[in-house]
Structure 1
Amino acid sequence: MGDQVSGTDGTAQGAFPGMPLPLYSASPSRLLAWLDCPRRYRMQYLDRPRPATRPPRAHTSVGVATHHALRDWWDLPDEVRTAAAGPELVRTSWIDVGFRDPDQSATWLATVQAEVTAYLGGLDPRHPPVGLERTVAFRTRTIALTGRVDRLDDRGGELVVVDYKTSRRASTTDEARTSLPMALYAAAVWKMFRRRCVRVELHHVPTGTVAAHTHTDESLTRKVAEAESIARDARAADAQFREIGVASSLFPPHVSSLCAWCDYRAHCPEGQQVGPERSGWAALERAEASGASLASGDTS
């Protein structure tokens, strides 16, 4: 049998000399975690046992309930699949976690019910999507990527990737254009369905606005190459972690104001130096103070 190899180039244990490297399995979220903060990436994906995270925040509960309501609407019988079904769908999907108190939870329940109802009013119930919360995947010579699409529409024979957003500010066309996850989802859909998919849309549920971008073949190829580049760096870091664990120097924290919101802050001394930790309901309070209709994890 061949020797087992585990090198800093990312070679997996159990590989034979001369054999190609195994594909790096990842989701867009994992790739972005590596870019955002290698320390958080290590704690989230490599440390065993995984460090305990803080309890879910209220804005996460709002986002999850919104997504579930919009998903479940399409499962309703035709005769009741109307915007009027929105409030009950939100109520049954509501997650009462992370809020300051019952009054704040009730206030945001009513807010989200109104926003979801308004958004559903702009949909045509007679034309269901091709997929809802659909898992998509593709492979290159470097990565095996898997992700989940909120909604997949058929528009004139071409497929369109739709992502729901519940942040306190509307998405921009530049965000749709530069989003690595959205481009990778489009590439995966094209590969899986063997149908052209180049348009991606960010649907901001609170305002009903849509930020969209239509990729070219070349821009999708560039995004896939970007993902491969990130994967190569993460693979090398993963391999060193297997060899020397937390002694590795490849997982420094990227210290910023976002450290105040990090789920792993309690385990990161550098992150703890960035002001006080934000409360579980802080993002909602910011929205209330600014008069915005909804808040989420966008804390910039």
Structure 2
Amino acid sequence: MSDTATVTSPPDTGTDAAPARRRPALSPSRASDFKQCPLLYRFRAVDRLPEVPTRAQVRGTLVHAVLERLFALPAAERLAPRAKELLEPTWAELSEASPEWTELFAEEGQGTAKEPDVAGWLTSAEKLLDAYFDLEDPRRLEPEACELHVEIELGSGVRLRGYIDRVDVAPTGEIRVVDYKTGAAPREIGEAKALFQMKFYAVVLWRLRGVVPRQLKLMYLTDGQSLAYTPEEAELVRFERTLEAIWQAILRAGRSGDFRPSKSKLCAWCDHQAHCPEFGGTPPDYPGWPEPDPGEETALDRAD
């Protein structure tokens, strides 16, 4: 069976047509969730339990959006002051689309955002943009795509779906996958998780284009560090099998409802301890396998 692929969302077919029903797919974030803790996957993909984003997560989403807009400008205008000018209007757009994010800055017991808090938060975003400009000069780059939606069905039937921050293609055809991380460069566990995400994208692009990406590049903006990795085709073949095994394990758990918790140091950052048996909690009644699609990835998933 051959691979089938898309690189954009399906077009709108009109208001009278039935909405297109997408097949369930695996995203890098949800695959990573299942590897970390099957019950966390269930809480996020099946139960869809709400999670309150942190200011750092929302700031990451903001910086990603600013960098996307920056590369839409003519090359000569891609300067640090111009990027900072984009912060406030971009935040206005994002907060209008997700007004609940403004509650992160509300005065206790009041419901209105504290201007000093928002101003200081935007200043912290400016520092991340400064770190980005220390790492590279966007005037010298012409990315093929930013925030690229990719989707492919492998020959095994596993459907992969995700968003890539940036794809650079050299005149010689070599591909570089770039991901912005607004946190600090991670230690061993975090680095493995980040590389898992990048290898996921590498598999998708390899199957879409028939070319193994030359470089996977992670840019950590809190401490101004970058991590570059060169994958090999044999490695991506093995990784593809890993993704297929993860998806089969998810399907088995989905049929039975048996999503088991896996306790680790990462539990300290989990929003769902109140529902987790490892912490004396009780999960909600299992609602069954979700329809139409448990594999979507949000902007907050990708914000880091």
TM-score (norm 2): 0.70
**Post-superposition offset of 1:225:** 1.1
More relative contact order, 1 or 2 (CA 8 Å, 6+ apart): 2
Partner SS state of residue 138, structure 2:
coil
Provide the aligned length of Structure 1 versus Structure 2. 243
Residue in 2 aligned with 1:130? 144
**Rounded Cα–Cα distance in structure 1 between residues aligned with 2:197 and 2:185:** 19
Residue in 2 aligned with 1:113? 126
**1:159 pairs with 2:175:** yes
Change (3 A) 1:24 1:78: closer
What amino acid sits opposite 1:40 in the alignment? Answer: L
Change (3 A) 1:200 1:145: same
- Partner deviation per Cα, 1:190-235 (whole Å, 9 max, x = no partner): 2223334142111112333210110111111111111111111111
Q: Does the 8 A contact of 1:187 with 1:220 survive in 2?
A: yes
Residue in 2 aligned with 1:70? 67
Change (3 A) 1:177 1:57: closer
- Partner deviation per Cα, 1:112-132 (whole Å, 9 max, x = no partner): 213203423622324321111
- Partner deviation per Cα, 1:93-138 (whole Å, 9 max, x = no partner): 3354535864444323112213203423622324321111101223
Stretches of structure 1 that go unaligned for 5 or more consecutive residues are 1-22, 242-249, 274-295
**1:185 pairs with 2:201:** yes
**Rounded Cα–Cα distance in structure 2 between residues aligned with 1:164 and 1:191:** 23
**Rounded Cα–Cα distance in structure 1 between residues aligned with 2:214 and 2:51:** 37
- Say which of 268, 272, 277 aligns to 1:264: 272
**Post-superposition offset of 1:272:** 6.3
Partner SS state of residue 40, structure 1:
helix
**Rounded Cα–Cα distance in structure 1 between residues aligned with 2:29 and 2:187:** 18
Residue in 2 aligned with 1:33? 33
**Rounded Cα–Cα distance in structure 2 between residues aligned with 1:191 and 1:69:** 30
What amino acid sits opposite 1:65 in the alignment? Answer: L
Change (3 A) 1:46 1:88: same
**Rounded Cα–Cα distance in structure 2 between residues aligned with 1:271 and 1:224:** 34
**Rounded Cα–Cα distance in structure 1 between residues aligned with 2:125 and 2:186:** 15
Mapping for residues 106-255 of structure 1, pairs under 5 Å = 106-120=119-133, 122-138=136-152, 139-155=154-170, 156-169=172-185, 175=191, 179-241=195-257, 250-255=258-263
What amino acid sits opposite 2:167 in the alignment? Answer: L
Partner SS state of residue 197, structure 1:
coil
Change (3 A) 1:297 1:184: closer
**Rounded Cα–Cα distance in structure 2 between residues aligned with 1:90 and 1:140:** 43
Stretches of structure 2 that go unaligned for 5 or more consecutive residues are 1-22, 96-101, 108-113, 282-301
Change (3 A) 1:100 1:168: farther
What amino acid sits opposite 2:224 in the alignment? Answer: G
**Post-superposition offset of 1:76:** 2.0
**Rounded Cα–Cα distance in structure 2 between residues aligned with 1:194 and 1:297:** 28
Aligned identity (percent) is 31
TM-score (norm 1): 0.70
**Post-superposition offset of 1:78:** 4.3
Change (3 A) 1:179 1:91: same
**Post-superposition offset of 1:261:** 2.6
Q: Which has the larger radius of gyration?
A: 1
Partner SS state of residue 179, structure 1:
helix
**Rounded Cα–Cα distance in structure 2 between residues aligned with 1:60 and 1:181:** 17
